[in-house]
């Protein structure tokens, strides 16, 4: 089996997104035999339920959240920053346990995205030297 790669669980078809849906990607599924994929949902690892209110980073990006300069607020006005930080740390812990050097994460996510804002988990993985690619 190939190298271990951390992948957003929703891309495998797991219903881990905030709305309880998945973003199954046939290309990712077709690559399963070529790599050792480790599915991860930082928001669930941080203790948030599924489904959950959508959230966004306010006052910066994921790096600013890691530095304590921005917050993650859900649609109901609740500060969920602690859960996002915990999820990012747990995702990094999994990456270290499996010797991951590369991650494929869901785009447009306050946890996993690189654009339009760098997500919290993506920022944490990048800071640890893990190559992060955005998908979907």
Could you please report the per-residue DSSP string of 22-55?
A: ----HHHHHTGGGSEEEEE-HHHHTT--SS---E
Taking the whole predicted model, whether its pTM rises above 0.85 is answered as yes
Chain center to CA of 75:
19
Taking all residues of the chain, what is their mean pLDDT, rounded to a whole number?
94
Cα atoms in the Cβ-side hemisphere of radius 13 Å centred on 84: 36
**Residue 3's pLDDT band (boundaries 50, 70, 90)?**
confident
| Cβ atoms within 10 Å, residue 127 | 13
Cβ contact 106:10 at 8 Å: yes
Are the beta carbons of 126 and 2 closer than 8 angstroms? no
Whether 1 has a pLDDT exceeding 70, the answer reads no
């Amino acid at each position: 089996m190939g190298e271990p790669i951390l992948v957003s669980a929703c891309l495998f078809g797991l219903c881990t997104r905030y709305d309880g849906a998945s973003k199954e990607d046939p290309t990712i599924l077709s690559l399963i035999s070529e790599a050792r994929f480790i599915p991860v949902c930082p928001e669930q690892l941080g203790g948030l339920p599924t489904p959950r209110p959508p959230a966004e980073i306010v006052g910066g990006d994921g790096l600013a959240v890691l530095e304590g300069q921005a917050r993650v607020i859900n649609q109901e006005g609740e500060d969920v920053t602690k859960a996002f930080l915990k999820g990012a740390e747990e995702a990094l812990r999994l990456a270290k346990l499996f010797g991951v050097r590369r991650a494929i994460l869901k785009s447009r996510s306050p946890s996993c995205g690189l654009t339009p804002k760098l997500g919290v988990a993506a920022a944490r993985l990048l800071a640890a030297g893990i190559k992060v690619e955005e998908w979907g």
